[in-house]
Amino acid sequence: MEQQNAQTKNKGGRPKKAVKKDQLIAVKCSLYERRIIEERAKSVNLSISEYLREISMTGKIDRQEKALPKEVLDLSAMLNHMAANLNQIAKKRNSMEQLSLIERISLKVQSEELKKLASQIKVYLQ
């Protein structure tokens, strides 16, 4: 019974990865080599870890563009921030607590920001 409660109780957060990358390999190199590795990873839009894993496992890097335009990334970050704030407010409301004056003002500001963000997205997509 206790195990069933543990399974049904979801605390939220980021889902667990199937294969956890928890092993660390330190690589000694010169400053010059480090800069080259960093620059090559950046040129294919990969982190240094992703770049070194890919090059060591396959011997090549697939140069597909993974990066989104800066505007899209900025809008996505803003949406994620607002979603987190709204989720906290919704959680408080669902637990029947009253919102404080500051929280009500924050909710109104978030609402206006969402409207502006929707307009920015509409303009960007035209």
- Largest Cα–Cα distance in the chain? 59
3-class state of residue 20 by DSSP: coil
pLDDT digits (tens, 9 = 90+) for 31-66: 999 999 999 988 888 899 999 998 988 888 776 655
With cut-offs at 50, 70 and 90, classify the pLDDT of residue 78. Answer: confident
Could you tell me the two tokens for 69? 């335009």
Whether the per-residue pLDDT at 93 is higher than 80: the answer is no
Please report, rounded to a whole number, the percentage of residues in the chain having pLDDT higher than 70.
86
d(CA 6, CA 98): 29
CA dihedral 93, 95, 98, 103 (to 10 degrees): -50
- Residue 123: what pLDDT? 77
Q: Are 82 and 114 in contact (CB under 8 A)?
A: yes
Q: Are 46 and 37 in contact (CB under 8 A)?
A: no
With cut-offs at 50, 70 and 90, classify the pLDDT of residue 110. Answer: confident
